[in-house]
Chain A
Amino acid sequence: KNEVEQSPQNLTAQEGEFITINCSYSVGISALHWLQQHPGGGIVSLFMLSSGKKKHGRLIATINIQEKHSSLHITASHPRDSAVYICAVSKTSYDKVIFGPGTSLSVIP
């Protein structure tokens, strides 16, 4: 069993839809990361959180430490949001990161 799992694996949405990507993990952590990987491969760090909720623009990330679960929400989705979204965990913010398998999102105009 993978230490970090994500669902769904693939997601296709119409522009404007509200999107949710889920992440569950089985190890003790102090930091959870949400990352965005574009087709060219480059990775952008979207959020790092250890509790509660963070919001940045149309993106919202939540985490429930007791349930070992996190969600990434995208409001008013846009084709430029199309990318692979990766959940990753680390014991501390400066520890090695364990990556989930990623969720491939395609937003259709």
Chain B
Amino acid sequence: GAVVSQHPSWVICKSGTSVKIECRSLDFQATTMFWYRQFPKQSLMLMATSNEGSKATYEQGVEKDKFLINHASLTLSTLTVTSAHPEDSSFYICSACCDTGQPQHFGDGTRLSIL
């Protein structure tokens, strides 16, 4: 079946570092990719929607200059957390979509810890 690969799965880095997370659709073209964030004991929340070749649409309260999203091809979207701080520590997960009527396919997620 369709697979979405997300990398890295775990990142620990110092405050002020920029971190890039990749989301790849391995066997289908993903015209739309979604980026979600999950804080401990909370629901997954949508951060932004990215469509190939256009600027991402960010949800209210998500800083677009801090969370840079690039969706330059039909198989790859990247999320860069710029100048990360401890409050950015969270679980980030992408999903890729899709043919009409088919479910979104989720990556395995990235656990980000900022020290």
Contacts and interface: CB of A to CB of B under 8 A. Distances in A.
Contacts of A41: 38, 91, 93, 108-109, 111
Given A41-B93, A45-B106, A100 B43 contact: yes
Interface string B38-81: 10001111100100000000000000000000000000000000
Contact of A33 (B34, B36, B43, B103): B103
Size range of the interface on B? Answer: 20 to 34
Contacts, number: 62
A25 interface: no
B49 A43 contact: no
A100 B106 CA distance: 16
A68 to B, nearest CB: 18
Main secondary structure of the interface of A (DSSP, over half): strand
Interface of B: 32, 34, 36, 38, 42-46, 49, 91, 93, 95, 97-98, 100-109, 111
Given A42-B109, A43-B107, 13 more contacts: A31-B103, A41-B38, A41-B91, A42-B108, A43-B93, A44-B106, A45-B103, A45-B104, A47-B103, A94-B97, A94-B98, A100-B43, A101-B43
